[in-house]
Amino acid sequence: IYGVLALTPARARPRTGSYVQVTEVEYRLLLSEAAVGAGVVHVQQIDGGMDPHDLRIRDGSSGRLLALPLLNPGQMHDAVVYMRSGVYHLWCSVPGHWKLGMHAILRVAAR
């Protein structure tokens, strides 16, 4: 992850780049896509659960970390990031949530 290019309010699906929606519920992360194209990636974080959740994204090869905010139930957050091809680990860092299953893998493929 090479940094947030822009943080924007939740909007409709963007027209350029790749897109993945991450819905956080007790105690899972549901990804709209298992794989996206490298480059600009629009990440929409949605707390669809009954508890607050945040989202962490770590680049499996470089170890770089992106921390998205803690959301309350029903809130959304959009982030625009640049991702190189590779495997990315996503999880909720609220204490105990990883152990309960709130983690997933996102694959980013070269275009």
Q: Which pLDDT score is estimated for 14?
A: 56
Can you tell me the distance from the alpha carbon of 99 to that of 92, in angstroms, rounded to the nearest whole number? 10
Q: Which pLDDT score is estimated for 61?
A: 87
* Of 2-11, 18-27, 58-67, highest mean pLDDT: 18-27
Whole-model pTM: value is: 0.86
pLDDT average, residue stretch 17-22: 94
Percent of the chain with pLDDT over 90: 79
Can you tell me the distance from the alpha carbon of 106 to that of 45, in angstroms, rounded to the nearest whole number? 14
Q: What is the DSSP string of 41-104?
A: EEEEEEE-SSS-EEEEEEETTT--EEEEEEE-TT-EEEEEEEE-SEEEEEE--STTTTTTT-EE
